C-alpha cells in the first residue's frame, strides 16, 4: 500500500463519504504530521479549495439528523455515534415528527441536509439551531454548513489521533 493509499484509508471517511478530500490533502503535502490539528488543516484546505459543486456534494453526503437512515440503521458508525450522543436515537414521536418536518423544509430550501456538529449539544439545542438557520440565505447557509462539516471533521480526527489536547 502506498503512503497515499494508507493516508486515504485512515482519513478518507473524515469528510462524510468523500475520500477525495484526503487524497487532495495528501497530494498537497505528503508529509503531513499525523496530529489532529495538522491533518485537519490539510483536509480543510483541500475542502475549501474544491469547487462549490464538490463542496455541495460533501454536504449532500451527510445524513438527515434523526432521519430515515438513522431509523433503518444505515448511518456510518461515526454519524450513528454522533447522533446518539445528542439523544437523537431516543426521540419521542412528536420530536421525530418535528425533526422530519424541519429536515424536509431545510432540504427543499437549501438542497442539502441540515448539518451541525452535535457533540455537546442536546436535541433541544439542535432544534433551536435548526429553527434559526432555516431562515438563513442560501450562501450564508452553505458557508455555515461547510463550517459545521469542518468542525465535525476535527472532532472525528481528535477521536482517531489520541494524545492531543481535546479541549
Q: What is the residue whose three cell numbers read 489521533?
A: 161
Catalytic residue among 17, 40, 62, 166: 62
Residue 128 CA to residue 160 CA, distance in Å, equals 30
Q: Could you write out the DSSP letters of every residue in 95-153?
A: HHHHHHHHHHHHHHHHSS------TT--HHHHHHHHHHHTTS-HHHHHHHHHHHHHHHH
| Catalytic residue status for 62 | yes
- Residues labelled catalytic: 62
Amino acid at each position: 500500500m502506498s503512503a497515499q493509499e494508507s493516508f486515504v484509508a485512515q482519513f478518507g471517511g473524515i469528510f462524510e463519504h468523500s475520500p477525495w478530500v484526503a487524497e487532495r490533502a495528501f497530494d498537497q503535502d505528503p508529509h503531513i504530521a499525523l496530529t489532529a490539528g495538522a491533518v485537519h488543516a490539510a483536509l480543510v484546505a483541500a475542502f475549501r479549495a474544491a469547487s462549490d459543486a464538490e463542496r455541495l456534494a460533501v454536504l449532500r453526503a451527510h445524513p438527515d439528523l434523526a432521519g430515515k437512515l438513522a431509523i433503518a440503521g444505515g448511518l456510518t458508525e461515526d454519524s450513528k455515534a454522533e447522533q446518539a450522543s445528542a439523544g437523537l436515537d431516543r426521540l419521542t414521536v412528536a420530536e421525530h415528527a418535528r425533526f422530519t418536518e424541519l429536515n424536509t423544509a431545510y432540504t427543499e430550501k437549501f438542497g442539502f441536509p441540515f448539518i451541525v456538529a452535535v457533540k455537546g449539544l442536546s436535541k433541544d439545542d439542535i432544534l433551536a439551531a435548526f429553527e434559526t438557520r432555516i431562515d438563513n440565505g442560501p450562501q450564508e447557509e452553505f458557508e455555515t454548513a461547510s463550517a459545521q462539516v469542518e468542525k465535525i471533521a476535527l472532532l472525528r480526527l481528535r477521536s482517531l489521533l489520541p494524545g492531543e489536547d481535546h479541549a
